[in-house]
């Protein structure tokens, strides 16, 4: 009797394993189909027309256009993975529901939660791939695509800022009444930059209490071995607290303990989609030193979004599989329409939350994760409601 019971349990586990393999094989073809459809649509809308316009109007060589096309693919893939997961799970479970296969599984005692598990597991795998592509491949490819286009269309344009390098540094100073006031503590300005040395330098330094100084130099460069700035052929004006001149000193070579940040500002800065999380954190440190609070907020939101966005695959997989298990007859056209509606809603919420995060209305964490939380709540609500039927 005991052997019979254990054999029954083993058979039950084996049948569930067969079910998982069956659902996985059913999910893969729709996923590949969805990936091809959405990749074509997104890339056409995002980059293809612009590349063709540059080929025709700006004379961009076809081989360069093809290279840029390939370099932009990882960025498109990152955005397409959640869409593909949604449509694939919706199509698969809708077809199985229409053909009464899910009803047969439920009659055998398989719950809706267990049936949806296969889709959720696949969604986690896709989320992992999305994170790897968005971190290791897409940022570098986006940067290379931008540099390639700059070189092809404006071959004389350097990858750094040539003129008017401006870097302010702020500090919050506590006032006698206990409040804090944001004041300018250091201002760095250079007329020109040739990629190595800056020329026409002016430095206003108010970082030391009771001692202000103005440094004017013919040129200057960053000394990486000593982590200082080397200024050449200039004058230092020391200013007393009453704004009168205290001292004037001329120099041929003077080393100043200043941060490297002005050089980072002068070099070609990457936009958000050209940086991974580590590079974004480095940029955040630079912007935090400069006191640019708006840029700091934006970077914090983008960093959280880089972490949160891959989990959109899990949310889409859960919503798609749950909606698909609802008894109905949904064809590919209807599934595609439902997917577009969900995708539009998700990305609209994503943009709205990002804007609210950039303005400081929402914290960076909430702004980045809010679309996922709302989608997850919707998916769980539909799942519980379907399971109770």
- What is the domain extent for residue 27? 18-154+295-388
> Does residue 362 sit within a domain?
yes
| Least trusted range by pLDDT, from 9-13, 238-242, 303-307 | 9-13
Is it the case that residue 8 has pLDDT exceeding 60?
no
Q: How far is CA 97 from the centre of its chain?
A: 37
Last residue of a domain, one of 268, 287, 313: 268
| Sign of the torsion angle spanned by Cα atoms 14, 16, 19, 23 | negative
**For residue 350, pLDDT beyond 60:** yes
Query: Which residue carries 């006191």 as its tokens?
Result: 291
- Count how many domains the chain has: 2
**Average pLDDT, integer, range 68-72:** 85
Q: Looking at the structure, do residues 214 and 184 belong to the same domain, yes or no? A: yes
What percent of the chain has a predicted confidence (pLDDT) above 90? 19
183 found inside a domain: yes
What's the pLDDT score for residue 14? 41
The contacts of residue 123 (CB under 8 Å, 6+ apart) are 85, 89, 313, 314, 316, 317, 318
Domain check: are 372 and 328 in the same one?
yes
| 79 and 203 both lie in a single domain | no
**Confidence band, pLDDT 50/70/90 cuts, at residue 370:** very high
Q: Are residues 167 and 262 in the same domain?
A: yes
Close Cβ partners of 252 (under 8 Å, ≥ 6 residues apart): 232, 233
- Mean pLDDT within 180-188: 79
Distance of CA 271 to the CA centre of its chain: 10
Q: What's the CA gap between 46 and 126, in Å, rounded?
A: 22
- Judge whether 4 lies within some domain: no
**pLDDT single digits (tens) 35-59:** 988 888 887 777 777 777 777 777 7
The per-residue pLDDT for 376 is 92
Structure tokens at 350: 């994503």
30 with 148, same domain: the answer is yes
pLDDT digits (tens, 9 = 90+) for 271-297: 788 888 888 887 787 677 666 678 888
Q: Which residues of 276-301 are buried (b: 16+ CB within 10 A; e: fewer)?
A: bbeebeebbebbebbbbeebbbbbbb
Residue 285 domain-assigned? no
Residue 279: inside a domain, yes or no?
A: no
Is residue 287, in this structure, part of any structural domain at all? no
Q: Are residues 231 and 149 in the same domain?
A: no
């Amino acid at each position: 009797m005991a052997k019979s019971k254990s054999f029954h349990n083993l058979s039950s586990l084996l049948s569930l394993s067969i079910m998982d393999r069956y659902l996985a094989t059913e999910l893969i073809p729709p996923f590949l189909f969805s990936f091809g459809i959405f990749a074509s649509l997104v890339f056409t809308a995002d980059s293809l027309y612009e590349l063709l316009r540059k080929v025709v109007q700006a004379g961009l060589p076809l081989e360069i256009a093809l290279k840029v096309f390939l370099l932009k693919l990882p960025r498109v893939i990152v955005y397409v993975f959640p869409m593909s997961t949604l449509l694939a799970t919706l199509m698969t479970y809708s077809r199985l529901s229409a053909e009464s296969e899910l009803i047969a599984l439920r009659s055998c005692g398989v719950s809706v939660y267990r049936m949806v598990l296969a889709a959720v597991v696949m969604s986690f795998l896709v989320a992992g791939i999305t994170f790897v592509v968005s971190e290791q491949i897409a940022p570098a490819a986006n940067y290379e695509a931008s540099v390639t286009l700059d070189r092809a269309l404006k071959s004389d344009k350097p990858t750094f800022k040539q003129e008017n390098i401006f870097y302010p540094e702020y500090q919050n100073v506590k006032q006698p009444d206990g409040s804090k006031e944001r004041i300018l503590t250091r201002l760095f300005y250079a007329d020109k930059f040739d990629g190595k040395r800056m020329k026409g330098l002016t430095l206003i330094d108010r970082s030391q209490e009771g001692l202000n100084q103005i440094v004017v130099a013919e040129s200057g460069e960053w000394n990486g071995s000593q982590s200082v700035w080397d200024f050449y052929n200039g004058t230092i004006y020391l200013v007393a607290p009453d704004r009168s001149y205290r001292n004037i000193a001329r120099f041929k070579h003077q080393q100043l303990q200043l941060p490297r940040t002005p050089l980072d500002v002068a070099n070609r800065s990457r936009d958000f989609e050209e940086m991974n999380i580590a590079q974004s954190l480095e940029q955040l440190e630079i912007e935090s030193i400069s006191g640019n609070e708006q840029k700091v907020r934006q970077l914090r939101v983008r960093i959280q979004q880089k972490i949160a966005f891959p989990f959109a695959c899990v949310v889409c997989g859960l919503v798609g599989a749950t909606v698909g298990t609802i008894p109905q007859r949904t064809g590919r056209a209807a599934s595609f329409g439902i997917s577009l509606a969900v995708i539009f809603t998700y990305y609209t919420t994503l943009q709205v939350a990002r804007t609210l995060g950039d303005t400081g209305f929402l914290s960076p964490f909430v702004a980045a994760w809010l679309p996922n939380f709302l989608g997850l709540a919707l998916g769980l609500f539909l799942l519980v409601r379907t399971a109770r039927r």
